[in-house]
Structure 1
Amino acid sequence: MLWTKTALFSMSAVFSSLHPTLQGIIAGRLGWDDLRPVQEAACQAAADGRDLLVVAGTAGGKTEAALIPVIDAVLKGGLPGVACLCLSPLKALINDQEERMLEICTPAGLSVAKWHGDVGKGERSWSGGDPPHILLTTPESLEVILLDRSLRPDLAHLRFVVVDEVHAFAADLRGVQIRCLLDRLDRLAGRPLQRIGLSATVGNPGEILAWLSGPGREAGLVASPVRPGKKQFSFSLAVGKEEQAAAVAGLVAGKRALVFVRSRSEAEGLATALKGRVDRLSVHHSSLSAAVRREAEASLSVPSSCVICTSTLELGIDIGGLDLVVQVGPPTSVSSFLQRLGRTGRRGGAARMAFVLGSDLDLLLAAGAIEAAARREVEPLRPPSLPYTVFVQQLFLALIGAGRLPRRSLLTSLLSSPVLAGIAPDDAGAIVDHLLATTHLAADGPFLMPGPAAEKDFSRSHWSALLSVFSTGAAFRALTPEGEEVGDLDARFVAGGVGTVCTLGGRRWRIIALDPGHRIATVVGEGGGSRASDRRPFWSGSGAPMSPVIARSVQGILARGRSSLPLAKREQAAVRGIATEIGAGIPAEGFLVTECSEGIFVLSCHGGRLNRLLASLLAQALGDGPKVRASDLCLLVEGVTGPDPAGEVYDALCAIRTRPAASIALALPLPDPADWKFGPLLPLPLFARMVAADVHDCDALAEALAAAPVHTGEETISGASSPDFP
């Protein structure tokens, strides 16, 4: 059911129905004379006890839309214990939300507490004291609370669970963990808790609402109409690190700005290049300590301050009056682009984003993202369908909490969660049998319990390895001799040894000692400016591939030969130049096969993930000899030696398009199970099935290939190069 501002009551009627104390806080503390439409609609829908998904633009009042009906219910009902649990994807977001919630809750006599890894142990427990009315935490920290027998009973009084930035969870294994947690909280409370999801960017809100709520429950979508606002974009071409740094320095001078880059390593590199060029320069990414990140966040309250960041500052932190967002390189998804754009323009002014791009191809990708956003095309989210690894995690957590459980009732309980419904009982049984064979489980008659292998692998630090569905990697904590934490360094990076000088948080540090047993790198500050011998730190993990939504938008631009954006003449000429270089007859959809000087060029605007899989299938189809390289927008086939190389590639593509999903799954290489936490604990056939369903998404891949016709170019590119192929 969709609730909009045309719903049942006028705003004044909804406002007047709130508890008098809450009315006074909204009017006196917040200075509002009424509710926004999205808040009014949320109050009406929440009053019916429905699960909700609130979708509204950045700074659209989503937090208050969830908080107002929660506070109203607590004040009217005098609810004991923890009445509302707020789950968030980021610690920084929790820190920000705590301040906003305290502003409303404290005058109402309601307590708010946060619990995550950066909160001191003494502040994380209320054992023996009064639990907070509202608790803000992460999924991993909630697992800790549920395992604590002195704290868990206080969650039995829960009425509401708010999942903030739900789009950050829904499409991955962490989202599966959250859905399992929601079902466990229902069982603990003995009744369905009201679930409220919040998001600014989701391409398929109805499906995500159904995922959040589950079958047989009443649910409503609260959608705020998108208010057209003024947006300003600028584009700077900067080839090379020095030009890039100069461009960024010129853009942020005298402004309060966020600069988004693609990786932690890029953030550190750009910070080094900007040293001395920008006042009040800070760095923010996930490998920095909590203190360093908080300092960076606080710096944005000061005029003429700049923070270089990754996606850690992309979500709903209320940064305030930013003057500018700088995007270095093109965004990889429309959702990410909208989140970053929404960091600015929050006080009634225009949202301003400046792109610093390394090539004309980057300009084309940026234009594709903006055009797709203007058409309100956002990436749909697809939750995993065979999350075997989360099943293993939840199985062990259940056993750790209870000590031992009957096999039949344990599996029945786990598989009753709708998010695990795709796992067949026979598959669950096969996993248990495999864990018994590896001694990760032990059996005592009908009872299961953790086995010796599980004790060895997971039991350290009170079984903390079971709390997360993702591996944290073999990072070394960078500590000063005084014990101050600076951040984390990748184990491969510190292999460079003692004496290495690197940047972390924009500052130079020298590694003076390494303790591999405790994974500690002792560092001291290194004065002076950067030197050629300094090493830029790197971390494991690759960046996100270009989304199919942006890639399709780019193909539309190429087919037209121009962007629909009001670009400058030079920028439109750059777009036309790429289209001309590819050749005539670029189709609006499907593949284009043509020859170029390096081999056979295949325009395949399907995004990085699909193109990498297609490259593997095409290499197999062509046999030994030819090599296939993939990028976000195209493939390059080298070494085809037959009389008609383009025709051979064309025929191979046509044959691949007819392959069913099962055949594609068998043909694709199987990744290393060790790349997945709990992956090595799965029987190999089930691991392969999980990869085919949720990593390669072979059903969707087969469907996309079948729907994409194969075209040949009307003209051969004689002597030309493939356009900016990496």
Structure 2
Amino acid sequence: MQRWIWDQGWTSLHDAQEQAIGPILDGDRDVIISAATAAGKTEAAFLPICSTIATQTDETAAPSVDPWTSHDPWAEPTAPALTGIQVLYLSPLKALINDQYDRLDQLCDTAHVAVHRWHGDVAGDAKKKALTNPSGVLLITPESLEALFVNRGTEVPNLLARLQYVVVDELHSFLSTPRGAQLQSLLNRVELALRRRPPRIGLSATLGDMQAAAAFLRPNSPDAVQLINSTSDGQEIRLQVRGYRCADPLLSQKDAAEAEAAGRPVTVEDTTDGDQLMIADHLFRTMRGADNLVFANSRRDVEIYADLLAQRCESERLPNEFFPHHGSLSRELREDVERFLKDRTRPVTVVCTSTLEMGIDIGSMTAVAQIGTPPSVAALRQRLGRSGRRDEPSTLRAYITEDELDGKSTLVDELRCGLVQTTAMVELLLEKWVEPPADPGLNLSTLIQQILSVIAQHGGATAAEIHQSLCGPGPFDRVDPQRFARLLRAMATKDLITQVSDGTLLHGRDGERAVNHYSFYAAFKTPQEWRLVANGRPLGTLPVDHPIIEGAFLIFSGRRWKITGIDAKARVIELTRAHGGKPPVFGGEGAPVGDRIRQKMVSVYEADESPPWLDRSAADLLAEGRAAWRRHDLAATPVIRAGNDTLVLPWLGDHALVTTVLALASAGIEAAREGPSLRVFDCPPDQLQAAAETLLRKQALDPLRLARELENTDIDKWDYVLDPDLSAEATAARLLDTAGARTILSLITTATPGDTARPAPSGAQRPPSRGGFNTTEFCVLDLETTGFSPRLGDRVVEIATTRVRGDGTVIDEWSTLVNPERDIGATHIHGIAAGDVLDAPTFADITGDLLQRLDGAVLTAHNLRFDRDFLTAEFDRSGHPLPPLPALCTLQLVTRLDPATASRKLAVCCARIGHPIPHEHAALHDARAAAALLLAYLPVAERAGATELHQLGCHPTNWPTAWRSAPPSGRRHERGAASNRRDDQASYVASLVARLDDTGSSDPDIVAYHDVLDRALEDRRITELEARVLNDTAVAWGLTPAQVQKAHRAYLEGLVTAALADDIITDRERADIELVARLLQTDVPGTVLRARTAGTGTDGR
């Protein structure tokens, strides 16, 4: 072994490897080795194991063939035999076994130790060799070990006669699962066959509770297990959580079908959600050319992103680097992708489910991505471990999408729970916390399998023998003789077992059929598909892997449905549409969330600082969630009236929420889990409080009674065998949290209800949002700048604010020129010359003056995104980061309320309401105009039913509780009366831009982007750098590449229309328009221009 270490070029061992040598060489205790991925756990176990085997010389006879002939199965250990497997290595994955086989064969060969592998894909000749000459190391899955007991039960003692060690890899993956219960039972049966206890060695990179893992590995003496926890996990971690807002595709499915029927091409980008396109674009730009893993939470998302990324490679004429990997793909396809990952001659990024979370050694990934909220902190840690081995940083990017808020949004939507939960999970990850294993319950399903297996192993056994061998310390220790007898009777009822006259239990007809089928060896099953039917019309199928109850609610196809009937035999769920607004973000069933994560979410809401690893969009979403939290005072008001419903936010785990739903159902009250909350339907808070008091007073939280109310409790493979009483006992032990439900009911009885329609009182100053907008104050702002993007170093040269009340009262006006500390930009546009700003204050000088005017008002601007980008950059530069202020865009307001209007330009909109602008591009005049526009459209919004700020498009809707203030300077330098605009500076394109009206879009985002194009093209130039910045601006504003292309085409068509207003296109005009087309990377066919010119009677020259 020392020679092997030398051959590897190692100069030292990892700390876990050093610590494992002594206890494993001693061979007198069980060991758990917990260390980060790629910290050498396999070598930590097998270096001392191979040393022991290589030096072992004590060889004696094997024990008796069948331990049932012995009066004492726990007799003193016998010495090892001449032949037999010496190390039993158990792995959850066949792929991991294949990978470890290659790895261990090299290591063990140095010690002249044979290595065998055994699973369903191994050839018969290799298995025969292991049986004929058993020795060395056997790599096997629990299912294949089960098959050995069933098919070769009498041979097992001889096959494992020399067994010295049992190694369980990826130990965490077995905890609290049916498969884990099967593994524990199999290990006990191995020791029963040998009549001795070889030491067990557990390996894992993700253990949240080492004591619980020890109890799993050695249930009868967990305190004796030696725990080795690596302390060398000091690797640098690079994190980013990116936020996105849902964006509908350019074409609906109906529109796409009509377009294809009309012969118009429809691309994938046209029918894909905009947020998915933006995520795919970022993945492509950051991951191309390297080896990466992208984890998605569903097979559907895997296919969507793998396809988008592969098509991107094709469109850019690059070899494809992006491939899918999930359980529904064939083994051949999965193995091809795994081979690509191991091949370091080509870059590969794999989009996968949890299939590549652990297992095969694919080497160091450059980065790992997570699309959607992670299933657990443990999964997040395991996935992060795939990146950054060998002293390289681990890189993780998470992509979280939240719904756009509108009038139908719920409080849960406003809380931005997906983003906040991800933030909480990342913070727990950084604190080195992972979930402890859950209570697996009674494991009755797995016990049924093990009973049938023991009968097959020995050709029959008595009830007492089976109970003694299976139900000692371990997975079935809560099954006493009485419950065991009831279970046997249930099995007999299903004809799985029968009893002969001497008391021996044998397989019944159905039991024999089940054991002889290859699927018997697995203790778990794939969730069965249930058909969903509404009013006799099939909606689709859904895998149901959790209990359901009539009257409950579920989310399917983006809609909320109420369950009106359940046919368990036919696996049909009858539904009817349920109203109550937009479905919550957390529709459907994901991994259950525990108490600790929910409590960490509260800490995230309560904090003021934004984590540095959130991008700007994610930080904005977090600010919106915190604003909703504070607006409704959720720290003190966990019970909220929501129209006719009541929301309860106890911030406890999902099991407690589900148990509370069942308790309320027993009192005739309908409720459903909605993210971290309970929505109680058609029940005001006072009625809910009375019901909760009654439930607590009557002590109605009997878990067995609640469990009997559930349908589809056949979750695990053999649950269908259980009678109603056993089924209720198993369900209650596995899923219900009556203590948590009691806490929630007590909270309901003592809480003072709030109201989603009323902002909670707070000392923080905030704009009002109810009872109309007459008393709401708006700070309407306008900027003049040196260019169109702060990303290019452009600066503010003039700023003005007009503070108005919703009733039309003008409270304050303020304006000043600003020294940009660089060249002045396009004087012909804003009319400001370099000499005008020599004595003007810098932006840092007026920071306090501006903050004073923004205080307590809604920041408002025409194309808010443009102005806010500049404000954010200027405030950051001055050392006073701009807090998340309530903000409203009049351009978007006009677009929403008056989508048919021909133009959203400020001057055109103001002229339409009878308020012409005396001097465009003078900040104070434009601010006054935008204020007039706002005041004209507020009554329109109120007539449309808007009573709250968020219904105007204002986000967030409350003032931050704290921020860094700055003293006002009082400095101002107003614009002079003379204008420095020079028409000879303006290009022909600028004149076209000035005449440009409708660009054919009602999308506020595209209209805002067109406004930036106006500003960019007014100097008739777009450099390559400016083009890249335009693209970055579009991405930051939520536009997809397809939307940008469409916007460019529409904009160019608008320019052509403006040029044709005089029925002539000259050579200069044609050259300018073609130049714009090149700058925007948009084709304008010459035939278009010629066709539009032909009607004028001129050739354009």
Q: TM-score range by the shorter chain?
A: 0.7 to 0.9
Kept after mapping to 1: 8 A contact 2:690/2:749: no
Provide closer, same or farther for how the CA distance between residues 186 and 662 of structure 1 changes in structure 2, counting only shifts above 3 A. Answer: farther
Note the alpha carbon deviations across 1:629-668, whole angstroms, 9 max, x for none: 313322233322xxxx233335545666778695244224
The one-letter amino acid of 1:178's match is: L
Provide closer, same or farther for how the CA distance between residues 569 and 680 of structure 1 changes in structure 2, counting only shifts above 3 A. Answer: closer
**1:208 matched to 2:213:** yes
- Looking at structure 2, the residues matched to 265 and 121 of structure 1 have their Cα atoms a distance apart, in angstroms, of 36
2:510 to 445, 453, 467: 453
TM-score w.r.t. the length of structure 2 is 0.54
Please name the residue that 2:792 is paired with.
none
Secondary structure of the residue that 2:166 maps to in structure 1? Answer: strand
- Looking at structure 2, the residues matched to 107 and 73 of structure 1 have their Cα atoms a distance apart, in angstroms, of 13
Please name the residue that 2:624 is paired with.
577
Please name the residue that 1:567 is paired with.
614
Unaligned runs of 5+ in 1: 1-21, 476-490, 495-540
Provide closer, same or farther for how the CA distance between residues 438 and 186 of structure 1 changes in structure 2, counting only shifts above 3 A. Answer: same
Please name the residue that 2:118 is paired with.
115
Q: Which moved more, 1:348-357 or 1:300-309?
A: 300-309
- Looking at structure 1, the residues matched to 614 and 698 of structure 2 have their Cα atoms a distance apart, in angstroms, of 42
Please name the residue that 1:264 is paired with.
299
Please name the residue that 1:13 is paired with.
none
Kept after mapping to 2: 8 A contact 1:603/1:635: yes
Q: Note the C-alpha offset of 1:291.
A: 1.8
Provide closer, same or farther for how the CA distance between residues 125 and 107 of structure 1 changes in structure 2, counting only shifts above 3 A. Answer: same
Note the alpha carbon deviations across 1:277-299, whole angstroms, 9 max, x for none: 24222221122222211111121
**1:194 matched to 2:229:** no
Please name the residue that 2:658 is paired with.
612
Provide closer, same or farther for how the CA distance between residues 298 and 151 of structure 1 changes in structure 2, counting only shifts above 3 A. Answer: farther
Q: Which moved more, 1:704-713 or 1:555-564?
A: 704-713
Kept after mapping to 2: 8 A contact 1:585/1:713: no
Please name the residue that 1:287 is paired with.
328
1:469 to 523, 537, 544: 523
Provide closer, same or farther for how the CA distance between residues 224 and 686 of structure 1 changes in structure 2, counting only shifts above 3 A. Answer: same
Kept after mapping to 2: 8 A contact 1:596/1:717: yes
Question: Cα RMSD between the aligned structures?
Answer: 3.1
Q: Which moved more, 1:612-621 or 1:399-408?
A: 612-621
Kept after mapping to 1: 8 A contact 2:30/2:226: yes
Q: Note the C-alpha offset of 1:608.
A: 3.7
The structure showing larger relative contact order (alpha-carbon pairs under 8 Å, at least 6 residues apart) is 1
Please name the residue that 1:556 is paired with.
603
Please name the residue that 1:530 is paired with.
none
Q: Note the C-alpha offset of 1:423.
A: 0.4
The one-letter amino acid of 2:520's match is: L
Please name the residue that 1:162 is paired with.
167
- Looking at structure 1, the residues matched to 700 and 440 of structure 2 have their Cα atoms a distance apart, in angstroms, of 17
Q: Note the C-alpha offset of 1:366.
A: 1.7
The one-letter amino acid of 1:431's match is: L
Q: Note the C-alpha offset of 1:151.
A: 5.3
Please name the residue that 1:367 is paired with.
423
Note the alpha carbon deviations across 1:584-615, whole angstroms, 9 max, x for none: 47566x98112345743322333444333333
Kept after mapping to 1: 8 A contact 2:241/2:614: no
Q: Which moved more, 1:594-603 or 1:416-425?
A: 594-603
Kept after mapping to 2: 8 A contact 1:37/1:224: yes
Please name the residue that 1:75 is paired with.
54
**1:297 matched to 2:338:** yes
Q: Note the C-alpha offset of 1:700.
A: 6.3
Q: Note the C-alpha offset of 1:559.
A: 2.3
- Looking at structure 2, the residues matched to 120 and 680 of structure 1 have their Cα atoms a distance apart, in angstroms, of 35
**1:104 matched to 2:107:** yes
The one-letter amino acid of 1:648's match is: Q
1:390 to 443, 446, 461: 446
Please name the residue that 1:526 is paired with.
none
Note the alpha carbon deviations across 1:400-450, whole angstroms, 9 max, x for none: 122222332222222235321110101111111232344321111111100
**1:95 matched to 2:92:** no
Please name the residue that 1:219 is paired with.
225
1:35 to 3, 10, 13: 13
Larger radius of gyration: 2
Q: Note the C-alpha offset of 1:548.
A: 3.5
Provide closer, same or farther for how the CA distance between residues 222 and 659 of structure 1 changes in structure 2, counting only shifts above 3 A. Answer: farther
The one-letter amino acid of 1:409's match is: E
Please name the residue that 2:178 is paired with.
173
Q: Note the C-alpha offset of 1:473.
A: 6.0
The one-letter amino acid of 2:641's match is: E
Secondary structure of the residue that 1:691 maps to in structure 2? Answer: helix
- Looking at structure 1, the residues matched to 294 and 109 of structure 2 have their Cα atoms a distance apart, in angstroms, of 35
The one-letter amino acid of 1:126's match is: K
**1:545 matched to 2:545:** no
TM-score w.r.t. the length of structure 1 is 0.80
2:712 to 672, 675, 685: 672
Q: Note the C-alpha offset of 1:255.
A: 2.2
Please name the residue that 1:529 is paired with.
none
Please name the residue that 1:636 is paired with.
679
**1:688 matched to 2:728:** yes
Q: Note the C-alpha offset of 1:59.
A: 1.8
Secondary structure of the residue that 1:54 maps to in structure 2? Answer: strand
Q: Note the C-alpha offset of 1:77.
A: 0.9
The one-letter amino acid of 1:616's match is: L
Kept after mapping to 2: 8 A contact 1:692/1:698: no
The number of residues matched between the two structures is 630
Kept after mapping to 1: 8 A contact 2:20/2:44: yes
Provide closer, same or farther for how the CA distance between residues 703 and 70 of structure 1 changes in structure 2, counting only shifts above 3 A. Answer: farther
Q: Note the C-alpha offset of 1:683.
A: 2.4
- Looking at structure 1, the residues matched to 212 and 698 of structure 2 have their Cα atoms a distance apart, in angstroms, of 28
**1:399 matched to 2:405:** no
- Looking at structure 2, the residues matched to 553 and 256 of structure 1 have their Cα atoms a distance apart, in angstroms, of 33
Q: Note the C-alpha offset of 1:114.
A: 1.8
Kept after mapping to 1: 8 A contact 2:151/2:456: no
Note the alpha carbon deviations across 1:660-712, whole angstroms, 9 max, x for none: 69524422432424432111222221121011012325466657877999644
Q: Note the C-alpha offset of 1:74.
A: 0.7
Please name the residue that 1:536 is paired with.
none
Note the alpha carbon deviations across 1:471-496, whole angstroms, 9 max, x for none: 24679xxxxxxxxxxxxxxx9699xx
- 1:123-142 superposed matches below 5 A: 123-126=126-129, 129-142=132-145
Provide closer, same or farther for how the CA distance between residues 399 and 235 of structure 1 changes in structure 2, counting only shifts above 3 A. Answer: same
Secondary structure of the residue that 1:34 maps to in structure 2? Answer: coil
Provide closer, same or farther for how the CA distance between residues 715 and 404 of structure 1 changes in structure 2, counting only shifts above 3 A. Answer: closer
Q: Which moved more, 1:596-605 or 1:683-692?
A: 596-605
Provide closer, same or farther for how the CA distance between residues 453 and 650 of structure 1 changes in structure 2, counting only shifts above 3 A. Answer: same
Secondary structure of the residue that 1:557 maps to in structure 2? Answer: helix
- Looking at structure 2, the residues matched to 227 and 174 of structure 1 have their Cα atoms a distance apart, in angstroms, of 29
- Looking at structure 1, the residues matched to 747 and 217 of structure 2 have their Cα atoms a distance apart, in angstroms, of 30
- Looking at structure 2, the residues matched to 394 and 602 of structure 1 have their Cα atoms a distance apart, in angstroms, of 43
Secondary structure of the residue that 2:160 maps to in structure 1? Answer: helix
The one-letter amino acid of 1:166's match is: L
Please name the residue that 2:934 is paired with.
none
- Looking at structure 2, the residues matched to 695 and 419 of structure 1 have their Cα atoms a distance apart, in angstroms, of 17
Kept after mapping to 2: 8 A contact 1:603/1:634: yes
- 1:433-452 superposed matches below 5 A: 433-445=489-501, 446-452=503-509
- Looking at structure 2, the residues matched to 717 and 561 of structure 1 have their Cα atoms a distance apart, in angstroms, of 25
- Looking at structure 2, the residues matched to 95 and 128 of structure 1 have their Cα atoms a distance apart, in angstroms, of 19
Kept after mapping to 2: 8 A contact 1:167/1:199: yes
Provide closer, same or farther for how the CA distance between residues 58 and 651 of structure 1 changes in structure 2, counting only shifts above 3 A. Answer: farther
Kept after mapping to 2: 8 A contact 1:378/1:549: no
Provide closer, same or farther for how the CA distance between residues 493 and 183 of structure 1 changes in structure 2, counting only shifts above 3 A. Answer: closer
